[in-house]
């Protein structure tokens, strides 16, 4: 990661404790570089939204500090607290919190009109409205918009103040599947262009994989793991991470449901009906079957491969396959014994087309980690 | 005071499901044991109005309502009730905001104090005003000796009495609206750089505008009907303090038809207000 | 005010009956101007009855005469009515059955009342026309209001009234509390004010004779009601009234 070698003045550093009275304690230490998107994963009640509120200045720390680009925003010991209206941290709330009494244009322009403390050297309301396809909706009121449109308004509103940092709290949680993929695509294009550290709360590993440079996992108010998607997927620190992230995420290119997998000549049949182009393929480890000989019958996706590593995890055995597709496969211990899998053994892998989840990817190459 | 995100916003979906439940078909069987007292209760409210309507000299009504007694009282009532409503708006909305948003110890006592005039006999309120703002009152005395200004026996006294009795309606309506609208939009505005006063003016007030409107109309209706505090604190003189309710009281013993005519005005105005506000008032309570 | 809708049945007079047969309390409705005198009269009456060997239960209801008239016309149960003037008594008698004729109870005159020390420096009726002063009267239609109007008309003063009170006691309270500078009340009211009120006599030429009247009603206790009326017009009763600043009934 380039972020850690950059000057400490650049980016967001949070290291604080905050208890909310009913026994819950949020104790977080996290750094986000100035040009980095970190995905924040965690179960419900882990304190994800509270973390965003602390960073945005909607709650104060009990101990520790929040520092953005070298400026202390909150420091319990030195009694520094910069109020939310002076922090210039853009927040896209999970339920958007649009101002229903204002038009779409006035929502987006709110920080320009009423945020006197903010400079107006941002991208400009008109430009943002164009970029996010909101110009035709300018005079509408939020209650008459669809979920995806509201999400775009919320995003434009946060970006219009030219934020020093951007927080997105479950930006796709309230959307249906179609709007979700459109917004994901939009975020994929937008986030890298936002100057400053970005924090994306999500519970979908695909979002984290597609949109973030690193992942931070928060459980019970504490950070349980920080790392790249690959690092976390390979070595999950907790059961929650294993369950949430222990799935195969692969890039590919879709042509009428047939996916050419990146970095190999393997093609997978899927039931994907989306448009042709880059995609992310998700294959759960327990949906891949291993055989000693080429299976006959239904599964069309079969290929010959060899075993890279084998690891016992309680009742299951985690097998990692070698080329052409570095899949992680979970099989029962008895099946592993019957197959006699060892590193180097030859096996046939099979996966049903219906078990392969496909998500629209983005055209720009994802940063290699 | 920095706003905080405390209550999760579930408003949209909550309202919808409430509506759906409200439109559910009534069960076919209506128990008589419920219906009989219900109808009796309805009659209890309806019969006095029927009695009033039956005694109303409809043909003479235009003449009665344009008589100097009524015109004077009507003019006075309009001025004083509207002025009281304006005073209530200036003080009551910020007070409601304080009750809903500021965390101070003993707030239940403050709230009880603010809503006391809702349950207190108005004549007690009028007496209390007299002891505070009358010529020998705790405040009224010094004010009179310093400025020569005296509230009782003037329209100013009527306005003060009306405000005292009617403002709680605005405060509880607006406070209820502030509670149900929550603080999260205010927090969102803060992240966009809006200061506390801007948030109050540009977010908080517009979001609860319908409830402020409902509260103001209720306050006005209550002020229009105020009797006890007015007659005790401000006195009863035609042209300066004799509002419509006082005129009813005075004419009831002398000129019953005029009393009935004025009563009809008050009944009609109150009914129109309550019908116009329908569900806004009790939904927020 | 609350007016009873359901009445106890008025059985009419029963000349042959004795007080012992009569049921319920003796209900007396009395004008506000008679408040103190009437309280003493009731006490005296109860004493007299007790010494005669019968225990009576009296309910005294004090309000403005006009208010009491409204109560009576609306059917309020009552056995005795004492009005502060003859007009209201006549209006009641036109609708409600009386047990005998109304009789004069006592008389008094009107007087100017000021808070103790007369802070506004009132010197006479003419001051009531001063807009700067806070002046109170009883409402027109109320006996003390009608008497005051009569006095003012005779004296040619057009008063600048700041408040009209519903009965003389409310008016007097505003004077004792120093809320008003001057008011026209009954002379008899001054006697019961224990020095908390200053007064200024109104010249006889423009003054009035304010005569209160009392009548027994054809209620559920006609005999007891008659006995009470007899008591208050007796020497004993009149002595009580004189003691409270009234002139004896003519």
Whether the predicted pLDDT of B281 surpasses 70 = no
- How many C-beta atoms surround the C-beta of residue B195 within 10 A? 16
What's the rounded mean pLDDT across residues A343-363? 75
Whether the predicted pLDDT of A180 surpasses 50 = yes
What's the rounded mean pLDDT across residues A30-42? 91
Are C38 and C221 spatial neighbours (Cβ–Cβ below 8 Å)? no
CATH fold for the domain made of C108-209: D-Maltodextrin-Binding Protein; domain 2 (3.40.190)
Q: What are phi and psi of C200, to 5 degrees?
A: -140, 125
What's the rounded mean pLDDT across residues C124-145? 92
pLDDT for position A230: 77
Are A122 and A110 spatial neighbours (Cβ–Cβ below 8 Å)? no
- Going by C-alpha positions, the residue among B226, B45, B270 that lies closest to residue B120 is B226
Crossing angle of helices B68-101 and B107-119, rounded to 10°: 160
Q: Which of B21-30, B188-197, B223-232, C158-167 has the lowest mean pLDDT?
A: B21-30
Which residue is closest to C165 within chain B, CA to CA?
B236
Q: Binning pLDDT at 50, 70 and 90, where does residue A328 land?
A: confident
Distance CA C206, CA C212 (A): 19
pLDDT for position B26: 57
pLDDT for position C217: 93
Between residues B206 and B18, which one has the greater pLDDT? B206
Whether the predicted pLDDT of C122 surpasses 50 = yes
CATH fold for the domain made of C3-106+212-248: D-Maltodextrin-Binding Protein; domain 2 (3.40.190)
pLDDT for position A368: 36
pLDDT for position A143: 93
Could you tell me how many CB contacts below 8 A there are between chain A and chain B? 87
Residue contact A115–B202, C-beta within 8 A:
no
Quickly count helices (H) and strands (E) in chain C: 8, 11
A279-A282-A287-A291 Cα dihedral, nearest 10 degrees: 60
Q: Which of B237, B246, B251, B258 to mutate to test the interface with C (most CBs of C within 10 A)?
A: B237
Per the DSSP assignment, residues forming a β-bridge with C201 are C111
pLDDT for position B280: 62
Residue contact A85–B190, C-beta within 8 A:
yes
Residue entry with tokens 């009907």: B225
Q: What are phi and psi of B137, to 5 degrees?
A: -80, 165
Which of A58, A88, A161 is facing B187, going by the closest CB pair? A58
pLDDT for position A229: 81
Per the DSSP assignment, residues forming a β-bridge with A342 are none
Q: Binning pLDDT at 50, 70 and 90, where does residue A299 land?
A: low
Are C209 and C9 spatial neighbours (Cβ–Cβ below 8 Å)? no
Residue contact B192–A111, C-beta within 8 A:
yes
Q: Binning pLDDT at 50, 70 and 90, where does residue B14 land?
A: very low
Contacting residues of C for B238, CB less than 8 Å apart: 164
Give yes or no for B189 touching A (CB within 8 A). Answer: yes
Are B242 and B250 spatial neighbours (Cβ–Cβ below 8 Å)? yes
Residue entry with tokens 């939310």: A84
Whether the predicted pLDDT of C240 surpasses 90 = yes
Q: Binning pLDDT at 50, 70 and 90, where does residue A295 land?
A: confident
pLDDT for position A5: 39
Distance CA B93, CA B73 (A): 29
Tell me the longest C-alpha to C-alpha distance in chain A.
71
Residue contact B130–C179, C-beta within 8 A:
yes
pLDDT for position C148: 95
Q: Is the four-CA dihedral B61, B66, B67, B72 of positive or negative sign? A: positive
Element (H, E) at B169: helix B155-181
Q: What percent of chain C has pLDDT over 90?
A: 64
Between residues B7 and C196, which one has the greater pLDDT? C196
Q: Which of B235, B241, B245, B246 to mutate to test the interface with C (most CBs of C within 10 A)?
A: B235
Residue contact C163–B237, C-beta within 8 A:
yes
Contacting residues of B for A87, CB less than 8 Å apart: 191
Are C187 and C109 spatial neighbours (Cβ–Cβ below 8 Å)? yes
- Can you say whether residue C81 is alpha, beta or left, with left for phi > 0 and alpha for psi between -120 and 50 degrees? beta
Element (H, E) at C227: helix C222-233
Residue contact A111–B198, C-beta within 8 A:
no
pLDDT for position B277: 78
Fold match flag (C3-106+212-248 vs C108-209): yes
Whether the predicted pLDDT of C45 surpasses 60 = yes
pLDDT for position C210: 92
- Going by C-alpha positions, the residue among C89, C80, C76 that lies closest to residue C60 is C80
Q: Binning pLDDT at 50, 70 and 90, where does residue C1 land?
A: very low
Q: Quick one: tokens of B136?
A: 């020998």
Whether the predicted pLDDT of B128 surpasses 90 = yes
Per the DSSP assignment, residues forming a β-bridge with A304 are A348
Tell me the domain boundaries of chain C: 3-106+212-248, 108-209
Crossing angle of helices B107-119 and B155-181, rounded to 10°: 130
pLDDT for position B13: 39
Q: What percent of chain B has pLDDT over 90?
A: 61
All chains having 3 or more CB pairs closer than 8 angstroms to chain C: B
What's the rounded mean pLDDT across residues A43-63? 89
pLDDT for position A4: 40
What tens digit of pLDDT does each residue of A248-257 get?
A: 777 788 877 7
Distance CA B260, CA B275 (A): 22
User: Do A and B touch (≥3 CB pairs < 8 Å)?
Assistant: yes
Does the interface predicted TM-score (ipTM) exceed 0.85? no
Whether the predicted pLDDT of B148 surpasses 50 = yes
Distance CA B266, CA B255 (A): 17
Q: Which of A93-102, A272-281, C77-86, C209-218 has the lowest mean pLDDT?
A: A272-281
Whether the predicted pLDDT of A8 surpasses 60 = no
Q: Which of A59, A100, A115 to mutate to test the interface with B (most CBs of B within 10 A)?
A: A115
User: Do A and C touch (≥3 CB pairs < 8 Å)?
Assistant: no
Whether the predicted pLDDT of A161 surpasses 50 = yes
What's the rounded mean pLDDT across residues A257-270? 77
What tens digit of pLDDT does each residue of C87-105 get?
A: 999 999 999 999 889 999 9
pLDDT for position A9: 56
- 3-class SS at A194? coil
Residue contact A85–B193, C-beta within 8 A:
yes
Strands A248-255, A258-261: pairing kind: antiparallel
Q: What are phi and psi of B205, to 5 degrees?
A: -60, -50
Between residues C52 and B220, which one has the greater pLDDT? B220
All chains having 3 or more CB pairs closer than 8 angstroms to chain A: B
pLDDT for position C5: 35
Give yes or no for A24 touching B (CB within 8 A). Answer: no
How near does any CA of chain A get to the CA of B110, in Å?
Answer: 25
What tens digit of pLDDT does each residue of B174-208 get?
A: 999 999 988 999 999 999 999 999 999 999 999 99
Residues 6+ apart with CB under 8 A from C7: C75, C76, C77
Are C100 and C225 spatial neighbours (Cβ–Cβ below 8 Å)? no
pLDDT for position B49: 92
Are A288 and A332 spatial neighbours (Cβ–Cβ below 8 Å)? no
Q: What percent of chain B has pLDDT over 70?
A: 88
What's the rounded mean pLDDT across residues B16-38? 65
Q: What are phi and psi of C83, to 5 degrees?
A: -105, 150
Residue entry with tokens 């506390």: B196
Are A282 and A247 spatial neighbours (Cβ–Cβ below 8 Å)? yes
Are A354 and A272 spatial neighbours (Cβ–Cβ below 8 Å)? no
Contacting residues of B for C139, CB less than 8 Å apart: 236, 250
- How many C-beta atoms surround the C-beta of residue A2 within 10 A? 10
Element (H, E) at A19: strand A12-19
What structural domains does chain B harbor? Answer: 61-284 (1.10.3720.10)
What's the rounded mean pLDDT across residues A174-181? 77
Whether the predicted pLDDT of A1 surpasses 70 = no
- Going by C-alpha positions, the residue among B148, B118, B150, B115 that lies closest to residue B132 is B150
Give yes or no for A97 touching B (CB within 8 A). Answer: yes
Give yes or no for B190 touching A (CB within 8 A). Answer: yes
Whether the predicted pLDDT of A100 surpasses 60 = yes
Distance CA B31, CA A103 (A): 50
Q: Quick one: tokens of C14?
A: 């029963």
- 3-class SS at C33? helix
Distance CA C84, CA A92 (A): 79
Long-range contact list for A178-185, CB < 8 A, 24+ apart? Answer: A178/A148, A179/A146, A179/A147, A179/A148, A179/A151, A181/A274, A181/A359, A181/A360, A182/A148, A183/A148, A183/A151, A183/A152, A184/A210, A184/A211, A184/A359, A184/A360, A185/A360, A185/A362
Q: Quick one: tokens of B110?
A: 């403050």
C9 secondary structure, DSSP code: -
Q: Binning pLDDT at 50, 70 and 90, where does residue C214 land?
A: very high
Contacting residues of B for C166, CB less than 8 Å apart: 236, 249
């Amino acid at each position: 990661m380039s972020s850690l070698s950059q000057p400490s003045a650049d980016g967001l550093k949070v290291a604080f404790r905050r208890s909310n009275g009913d026994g819950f304690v949020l104790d977080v230490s996290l750094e986000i570089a100035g040009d980095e998107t970190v995905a924040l994963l965690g179960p419900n009640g882990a304190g994800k939204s509270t973390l965003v509120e602390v960073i945005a200045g909607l709650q104060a720390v009990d101990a520790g500090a929040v520092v953005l680009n070298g400026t202390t925003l909150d420091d319990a010991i030195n009694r520094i607290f910069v109020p939310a209206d002076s922090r210039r941290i853009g927040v896209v709330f999970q339920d958007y919190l649009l101002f229903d009494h204002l038009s779409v244009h006035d929502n987006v322009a709110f920080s320009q009109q009423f945020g006197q403390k903010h400079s107006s050297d941002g991208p400009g309301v008109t430009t943002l409205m164009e970029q996010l396809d909101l110009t035709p909706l300018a005079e509408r009121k939020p209650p008459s918009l669809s979920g995806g449109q509201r999400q775009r308004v919320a995003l434009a509103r946060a970006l219009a103040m030219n934020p020093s940092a951007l927080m997105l709290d479950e930006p796709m949680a309230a959307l249906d599947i179609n709007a979700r993929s459109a917004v994901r695509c939009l975020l994929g294009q937008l986030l890298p262009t936002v100057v400053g550290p970005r924090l994306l709360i999500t519970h979908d590993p695909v979002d984290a994989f597609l949109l973030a440079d690193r992942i931070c996992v928060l459980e019970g108010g504490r950070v349980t793991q920080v790392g790249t998607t690959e690092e976390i997927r390979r070595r999950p620190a907790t059961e929650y991470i294993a369950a949430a992230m222990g799935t195969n995420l692969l890039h590919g290119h879709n042509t009428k449901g047939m996916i050419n997998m990146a970095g190999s000549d393997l093609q997978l049949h899927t039931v994907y009906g989306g448009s042709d182009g880059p995609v992310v393929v998700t294959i759960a480890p327990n949906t891949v079957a291993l055989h000693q000989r080429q299976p006959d019958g239904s599964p069309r996706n079969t290929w010959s491969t060899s075993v890279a590593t084998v690891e016992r995890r309680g009742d299951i055995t985690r097998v990692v396959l070698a080329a052409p597709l570095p899949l992680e496969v979970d099989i029962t211990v008895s099946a592993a014994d019957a197959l006699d899998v060892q590193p180097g053994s030859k096996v046939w892998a099979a996966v049903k087309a219906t078990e392969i989840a496909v998500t629209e990817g983005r055209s720009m190459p994802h940063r290699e980690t | 005071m920095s706003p905080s995100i405390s209550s999760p916003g579930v408003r949209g979906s909550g309202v919808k499901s409430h509506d759906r439940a409200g439109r559910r078909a009534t069960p076919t069987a209506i128990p008589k044991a419920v219906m009989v007292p219900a109808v009796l209760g309805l009659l209890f409210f309806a019969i006095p109005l029927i009695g009033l309507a039956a005694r109303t000299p409809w043909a003479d009504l235009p003449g009665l309502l344009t008589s100097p007694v009524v015109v004077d009282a009507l003019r006075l009532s309009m001025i004083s009730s509207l002025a009281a409503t304006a005073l209530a708006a200036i003080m009551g909305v910020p007070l409601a905001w304080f009750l809903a948003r500021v965390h101070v110890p003993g707030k239940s006592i403050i709230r009880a104090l603010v809503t006391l005039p809702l349950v207190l006999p108005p004549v007690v309120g009028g007496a209390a005003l007299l002891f505070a703002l009358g010529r020998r009152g705790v405040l009224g005395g010094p004010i009179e000796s310093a400025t020569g200004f005296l509230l009782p026996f003037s329209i100013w006294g009527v306005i003060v009495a009306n405000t005292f009795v009617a403002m709680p309606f605005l405060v509880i309506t607006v406070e209820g609206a502030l509670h149900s609208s929550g603080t999260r939009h205010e927090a969102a505005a803060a992240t966009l750089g809006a200061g506390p006063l801007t948030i109050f003016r540009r977010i908080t007030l517009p979001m609860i505008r319908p409830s402020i409107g409902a509260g103001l109309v209720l306050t006005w209706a209550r002020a229009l009907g105020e009797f006890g505090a007015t007659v005790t604190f401000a006195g009863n003189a035609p042209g300066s303090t004799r509002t419509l309710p006082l005129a009813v009281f005075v004419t009831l013993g002398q000129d019953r038809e005029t009393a009935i005519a004025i009563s009809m005005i008050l009944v009609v105005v109150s009914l129109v207000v309550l019908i116009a506000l329908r569900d806004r008032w009790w939904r927020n309570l | 005010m609350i007016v009873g809708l359901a009445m106890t049945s008025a059985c009419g007079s029963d000349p042959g009956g004795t007080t012992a047969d009569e049921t319920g309390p003796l209900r007396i409705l009395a004008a506000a101007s008679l408040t103190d005198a009437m309280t003493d009269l009731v006490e005296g009456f109860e004493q007299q009855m007790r010494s005669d060997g019968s225990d009576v239960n009296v309910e005294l209801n004090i309000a403005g005469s006009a208010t009491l008239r409204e109560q009576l016309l609306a059917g309020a149960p009552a056995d005795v009515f004492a009005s502060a003037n003859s007009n209201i008594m006549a209006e009641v008698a036109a609708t409600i059955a009386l047990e005998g004729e109304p009789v004069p109870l006592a008389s008094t005159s009107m007087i100017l009342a000021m808070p103790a020390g007369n802070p506004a420096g009132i010197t006479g009726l003419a001051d009531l026309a001063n807009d700067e002063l806070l002046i109170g009267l009883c409402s027109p239609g109320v006996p003390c209001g009608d008497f005051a109007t009569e006095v003012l008309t005779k004296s040619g003063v057009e008063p600048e009234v700041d408040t009209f009170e519903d009965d003389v006691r409310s008016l007097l309270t505003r004077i004792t509390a120093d809320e008003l500078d001057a008011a026209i009340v009954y002379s008899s009211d001054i006697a019961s004010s224990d020095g908390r009120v200053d007064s200024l006599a109104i010249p006889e030429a423009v003054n009035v004779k304010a005569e209160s009247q009392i009548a027994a009603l054809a209620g559920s206790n006609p005999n007891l009601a008659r006995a009470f009326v007899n008591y208050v017009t007796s020497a004993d009763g009149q002595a009580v009234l004189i003691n409270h600043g009234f002139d004896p009934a003519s």
